[in-house]
Amino acid sequence: MDTRSVIKASGFLILTTISIPANLFVCFAFLHNRFTEAKLLPADIILCHLAFANLMVSFTRSIPQILSALGYVNIFDDVGCKVTILCFRAFRGLSISLTCLLCVYQAVVISPATSLLSPLKIRISQYLLYIILFLYLLYYSSSITAIFNGVAILANNSILLYTYNLDYCFMSFKDYSTYIFVGLGVMSRDLVFILLMTIMSSYILKLLYNHGQKVKNIRGSDNSQKGERAESKASRAVVTLVILYVVFFGVDNIIWLYSLTILRVAALLSDIRIFFATLYTSVCPIVIITTNPKVQKKLKLAKTKKDVQTIRTCTHMV
């Protein structure tokens, strides 16, 4: 293995070993709450779907990247490539749109009664599952080009000009206009959600700042910290997720736009772009685990059970 392959395999292996267990734990925590408490808050439902989307991105992109870097060839046939690329594009898009939905919902929750967003407080809760279903349908239908362009092996084993080389599969387009149209279409679709979540997160920060100033004037700075509401903590966590996604999305698409200006994209540059495209799947569950009270409760419970089992095992050994 050359140096590039070693670094690539190591990088994606680190992402995968963080992403899969962490996202599985987040899903388990909320599903366990669903069956024990018989109800999940809208934010919990969104977070559960977000963790599932991140988990599927890891399975459909990070793991194949590791295998290809380790020297495995012909991982998929044509059908496998089409399904893998379709699922990756759909779930990556869902990761964007669900983060946006979470941001919008949090902005609605903390907005004052006089705000234009106030009427959405009840409606989002009522139609949440329909909204999520719409997002699934939107991204699967708009990623359908993967079925027509995804292949395992190129004709004559030669990479054409208008081809995305994923190492384990290829996305081949017949001409430059199709290549540009599909790429810009995907970026524009995702950019709408990025802009919306940026606007909503800015609104959240404005509300948090105004709330902090009011509390500071009434109670004093020390007491204001102690009296911080759970909504404010949740809002800060959401804003953190948005900032992270905007940064990763920006790096990903800046590299992609640059690749349109050259005939052959350097393999290292392509690897960096794919790394940033999947980095959110590892960072997102860490933010959720460290900020969400319900997930933290499950984590403490699991740790307590493990400690009890360890004590019992030591007692039996003695």
User: If one looks up domain 3-317 in CATH, what number appears?
Assistant: 1.20.1070.10
Mind listing the pLDDT tens digit for each residue in 256-265? 788 777 666 6
Q: Alpha-carbon distance 107 to 109, whole Å?
A: 6
Q: Alpha-carbon distance 158 to 72, whole Å?
A: 19
**Highest mean pLDDT (candidates 94-103, 107-116, 209-218, 272-281):** 94-103
Considering the chain, what percentage of its residues have pLDDT values greater than 70? 86
Strand partners, 150: 171
Residue scoring higher pLDDT (23 or 214): 23
What is the per-residue pLDDT for 21? 94
Is the separation of the CB atoms in 168 and 75 below 8 Å? yes
Question: Which tokens sit at 271?
Answer: 């690897």
Is the separation of the CB atoms in 277 and 92 below 8 Å? yes
Strand partners, 163: 172
- Domain extents in the chain: 3-317
Please give the average per-residue pLDDT across 263-292, as a whole number: 85
Using only C-alpha atoms, what is the Rg of the chain?
Answer: 22
What is the per-residue pLDDT for 231? 73
Please give the average per-residue pLDDT across 190-211, as a whole number: 89
Q: Alpha-carbon distance 174 to 149, whole Å?
A: 9
pTM of the complete model beyond 0.85: yes
Is the separation of the CB atoms in 99 and 190 below 8 Å? no
Q: Where are the alpha helices (DSSP H) in 220-229?
A: 221-226
Q: Alpha-carbon distance 91 to 83, whole Å?
A: 12
For residue 125, what is the enclosing H or E element? Answer: helix 120-142
What is the per-residue pLDDT for 223? 47
Is 138's pLDDT higher than 60?
yes
180 Cβ neighbours under 8 A, 6+ residues apart = 260
What are φ and ψ of residue 170, in 5° steps? Answer: -135, 145
Q: DSSP secondary-structure letter at 119? A: T
Q: Alpha-carbon distance 245 to 145, whole Å?
A: 25
pLDDT band at 229 (very low <50, low <70, confident <90, very high): low
Is 131's pLDDT higher than 90?
yes
Is 18's pLDDT higher than 90?
yes
Residue scoring higher pLDDT (214 or 119): 119
Q: Alpha-carbon distance 254 to 93, whole Å?
A: 17
